[in-house]
């Protein structure tokens, strides 16, 4: 299968998980979702990532985001790994960790990268919108842990820009000024942003973040 692109529908699948059987589209129905992969169980970097994700449960929940991990090892290994995560990270896993021993999920999402390793999954992360379309895709090397502050920052941007005709500038974090998209005319902008904006260039109009 060719690589998934932004805007493609996230493939549906059925699989076992630490929370029981999952049908993905049914599980995420109407919600934002994060799906992120791990090359195998009992790997050091991924152990820290799963712990960090569990610690961020309230932040994901506040944004209406459901989180799913996936690894190619069988469910029995997953359950054993959960104990290690709690022991070393000080938090219990509180989201489903999907078992993918037949690599159906990894193949559907293009997580196998033969130039890196033809058996282990690439460490991919997908943000999926309520329309089940892929909004973000990030791939990490095995040696580098994910920055979950960045994942949450991008989710904030995606949710804001999907609701308003704005874009977010470099290094933006929630609460800072945003940019009115060029497709919005000044006349339309007066209706949408009656308190006004700052015009730096005709194509670069800065406005406080809409609430």
Q: What is the pLDDT of residues 5-47, one digit of tens each?
A: 999 999 999 999 999 999 999 999 999 999 999 888 888 999 9
Question: Is 161 or 3 the better-scoring residue by pLDDT?
Answer: 161
183 plus 127 within the same structural domain: no
Q: What is the pLDDT of residue 154?
A: 97
Distance CA 96, CA 16 (A): 9
**Segment among 77-81, 111-115, 122-126 with least mean pLDDT:** 111-115
182 plus 108 within the same structural domain: no
Q: What is the pLDDT of residue 84?
A: 94
Q: What is the pLDDT of residue 77?
A: 92
Kindly indicate the confidence band of residue 115, based on its pLDDT and cuts at 50, 70 and 90. low
89 plus 127 within the same structural domain: yes
91: in domain? yes
CATH of the domain at 125: 3.40.30.10
36 plus 121 within the same structural domain: yes
91 plus 194 within the same structural domain: no
193 plus 132 within the same structural domain: no
23: in domain? yes
For 55-94, the pLDDT digits (tens) are 999 999 999 999 999 998 899 999 999 999 999 999 999 9
Distance CA 18, CA 31 (A): 20
CATH of the domain at 172: 3.30.1020.10
Q: What is the pLDDT of residue 164?
A: 95
Q: What is the pLDDT of residue 117?
A: 54
75: in domain? yes
Mean pLDDT, range 134-139, rounded to an integer: 95
Q: What is the pLDDT of residue 143?
A: 83
90: in domain? yes
For the entire predicted model, the pTM comes to 0.91
41 plus 71 within the same structural domain: yes
Mean pLDDT, range 121-139, rounded to an integer: 91
Question: Which residues are part of the catalytic machinery?
Answer: 46
47: in domain? yes
86 plus 181 within the same structural domain: no
Q: What is the pLDDT of residue 120?
A: 56
Distance CA 92, CA 158 (A): 29
153: in domain? no
Distance CA 140, CA 122 (A): 7
**Does residue 175 have a pLDDT over 50?**
yes
Backbone angles phi, psi at 69, to 5 degrees: -100, 160
Q: Based on the structure, what is the number of domains in the chain?
A: 2
81 plus 184 within the same structural domain: no
**Does residue 169 have a pLDDT over 70?**
yes
86 plus 125 within the same structural domain: yes
**Does residue 1 have a pLDDT over 60?**
no
5: in domain? no
Supply the mean pLDDT for the chain. Answer: 92
180 plus 112 within the same structural domain: no
**Does residue 137 have a pLDDT over 90?**
yes
40 plus 108 within the same structural domain: yes
Range of the domain at 138: 14-145
Structure tokens at 42: 């009992």
109: in domain? yes
């Amino acid at each position: 299968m060719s690589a998934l692109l932004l805007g493609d529908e996230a493939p549906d699948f059925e699989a076992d998980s630490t929370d029981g059987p999952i049908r993905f589209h049914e599980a995420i129905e109407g919600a934002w979702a994060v799906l992120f992969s791990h090359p195998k169980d009992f790997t050091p970097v991924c152990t820290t990532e799963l712990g960090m994700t569990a610690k961020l449960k309230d932040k994901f929940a506040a944004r209406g985001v459901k989180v799913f991990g996936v690894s190619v090892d069988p469910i029995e290994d997953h359950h054993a790994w959960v104990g290690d995560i709690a022991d070393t990270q000080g938090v219990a896993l509180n989201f489903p960790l999907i078992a993918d021993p037949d690599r159906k999920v990894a193949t559907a999402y293009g997580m196998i990268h033969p130039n890196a390793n033809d058996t282990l999954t690439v460490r991919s992360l997908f943000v999926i919108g309520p329309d089940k379309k892929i909004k973000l895709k990030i791939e990490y090397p095995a040696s580098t842990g994910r920055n979950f502050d960045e994942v949450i920052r991008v989710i904030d941007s995606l949710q804001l820009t999907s609701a308003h005709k704005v874009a977010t500038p470099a290094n933006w974090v929630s609460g800072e000024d945003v940019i009115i998209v060029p497709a919005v005319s000044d006349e339309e902008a007066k209706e949408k942003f009656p308190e006004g904006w700052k015009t730096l260039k005709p194509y670069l109009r800065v406005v406080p973040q809409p609430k």
